[in-house]
Amino acid sequence: MTCAVALADIRSARDRIANKVERTPTVHSQNLSQHLGVPVYLKLEHRQTTGSFKLRGASNAVASLSAEEKARGVVAASTGNHGRALAHAAKLEGMRAVICMSRLVPGNKLDDIRRLGAEIRIVGNSQDDAQQEVERLVTQEGLVMLPPFDHPAVIAGQGTLGLEMIEQVPEAALVLVPLSGGGLASGIAAAIKGVGPRTKIIGVSMARGAAMKASLDAGKPVLVEELPTLADSLGGGIGLDNRLTFAMCRDLLDDVILLSEEEISDGIRHAYAREREIVEGAGAVGIAALLAGKVTVSGPVVVLLSGRNIDMGLHRTIICGDAPSAAEHAA
Ligand SMILES: *Cc1c(COP(=O)(O)O)cnc(C)c1O
């Protein structure tokens, strides 16, 4: 099978971004290991600079631009973490960055991106509306579009996480990866299956608006209704004109698991109370899938904690045990 992004691309990405991102630790979880009866490890990528793995893809994409493209500046649509990462990566390169986002994006994420030095445009009620504004800026102002997942340099950058995980836990039988547009899962699966094809990779999404799962089931990219969810970083479609991540997820993922909002809040609560880690909803889905008993395990498991950019008021509500409705969260 040939993939749009191969192991060699991911290895070059790692060299390119080595001094721009952290190599995050992987730790053994005593609690989850006892609970599951197999060794469970947590990859603490929520501690990455800017609070999510998105810095890997953004840094690799920005560093891969020509001098002429760097002079024009970059633009992206983002539900938060990609925008934040791109703002940081562009600033390091001394470049202009414009971030377009929909009104569903929580205020804390917006402020952070502005503070990182990017210009912000708020457009429409969906990721697709924000994407249209990106295309306008590309055509009318000559900015270079760097999308959050469907781009070879972004996928290769996210794939560097796969290399780290398999080096940190070479005996891993299963890796659980949060799944939205699929750049993260595609990159990690290409890396890990490139190194040792026996490790299974399972994607985990929220049941409310799981675009990749619906697309895989349909056999082609489809639109799903975008709904507020505790895993807000997993919101948004995969694009009807998806070029890379749909095929990669179809060919490389062993399964996709969907979670209820209650299961996701259990994951956030467990991460805090038992593992002493503050993670956002999207970052907690791997833990949540294990706690919900939705994964069959037969050997060592690595769970990727992908981000920590949660509103702290919401986090407090969740850990105090009052399950907030997704609608409350979005309000
Ligand atoms: C973007 C994001 C994801 C999903 O990544 P995709 O490449 O879109 O599948 C998961 N977790 C967090 C914290 C994210 O920001």
| CATH number for 129 | 3.40.50.1100
- Residue 8 Cα, ligand 1 centroid: separation in angstroms? 23
Q: Which helix (H) or strand (E) holds 177?
A: strand 174-178
Which one of 110, 145, 180 terminates a domain?
A: 145
267/284 Cα distance (integer angstroms)? 5
| Beta-carbon contacts of residue 133 (< 8 Å; ≥ 6 apart) | 77, 100, 121, 123, 124
Distance CA(168)–CA(162), nearest Å, equals 10
60 belongs to a structural domain: yes
Pocket test for ligand 1, best of 5, 49, 50, 52 (most atoms within 8 A of CB): 52
Does the pTM surpass 0.85? The reply is yes
Query: What is the chain's pLDDT, residue by residue, as a tens digit (331 residues)?
Result: 557 899 999 999 999 999 999 999 999 999 999 999 999 999 999 999 999 999 999 999 999 999 999 999 999 987 689 999 999 999 999 999 999 988 877 777 788 888 998 999 999 988 778 889 999 999 999 999 999 999 999 999 999 999 999 999 999 999 999 999 999 999 999 999 999 879 999 999 999 999 999 999 999 999 999 899 999 999 889 999 999 999 999 999 999 999 999 999 999 999 999 999 999 999 999 999 999 999 999 999 999 999 999 989 999 999 998 656 554 554 4
Instruction: Work out the burial of residue 308: count CB atoms within 10 Å of its CB; fewer than 13 is exposed, 13-18 middle, 19 or more buried.
Output: buried
Maximum C-alpha span of the chain: 57
Alpha carbon nearest to ligand 1 atom 13, residue: 307
283 C-alpha vs ligand 1 centroid, how far in Å? 8
| Boundary of a domain, candidates 126, 145, 164 | 145
- The string of pLDDT tens digits covering residues 241-283 is 999 999 999 999 999 999 999 999 999 999 999 999 999 999 9
The answer to whether residue 220 is domain-embedded is yes
Return d(Cα 37, Cα 26) in angstroms, integer. 19
CB of 39 within 6 A of ligand 1: the answer is no
Please tell me the distance from the alpha carbon of residue 198 to that of residue 48, in angstroms, as a whole number: 28
Which pLDDT score is estimated for 330?
A: 47
- Specify whether 128 is located in the same domain as 234: no
User: What is the C-alpha separation between 102 and 172, in angstroms, rounded?
Assistant: 38
Q: Do 174 and 259 fall within a single domain?
A: yes
CB-CB contact of 53 with 45 (8 Å): yes
